[in-house]
Amino acid sequence: MIPHVTQHAAQRWDKRSPSDSVAPETAWSEGQRVSGPERPTGTDECRVHHSTRTVLLRCNSRIVTVLTERELDQDAHRYVAPVFEEATA
């Protein structure tokens, strides 16, 4: 099931991804789940979308925000950085 995208998350997606990129729902489906960042971010699940280099954060049944790798705090970044590095290797 694809989570609902909140207005806030949609706005962040538009700001942080290229204008010709896929929709955030598609990015969620294509994204790679990363265990760990949900703890410091206070969300239930995080997925990395490689082609836009964004992190989509889900709380309950909603995608609540979209961040770039640089916007993550240090605790969350340590889980996500290896996933981004793996994609560029």
Distance CA 38, CA 26 (A): 20
Q: For residue range 25-41, what is the model confidence (pLDDT) as tens digits?
A: 999 999 999 988 777 78
φ, ψ of residue 27 in degrees (nearest 5): -60, -40
Stated pTM of the model: 0.90
pLDDT at 87 > cutoff 70: no
Q: Which of 61, 83, 62 is nearest to 72 (CA)?
A: 83
Strand partners for 57? 46, 65
- Read off the pLDDT band of 89 (50, 70, 90): low
Task: Extract the runs of DSSP E, i.e. beta strands, from 1-89.
Answer: 4-5, 32-34, 45-49, 54-59, 62-68
Q: pLDDT at position 13, please? A: 98
Closest among 3, 57, 53, 68 to 33, alpha carbons compared: 57
Domain ranges of the chain: 4-16+31-88
Residues 38-58: tens digit of each pLDDT: 777 888 999 999 999 999 999
Query: What pLDDT does residue 42 have?
Result: 83
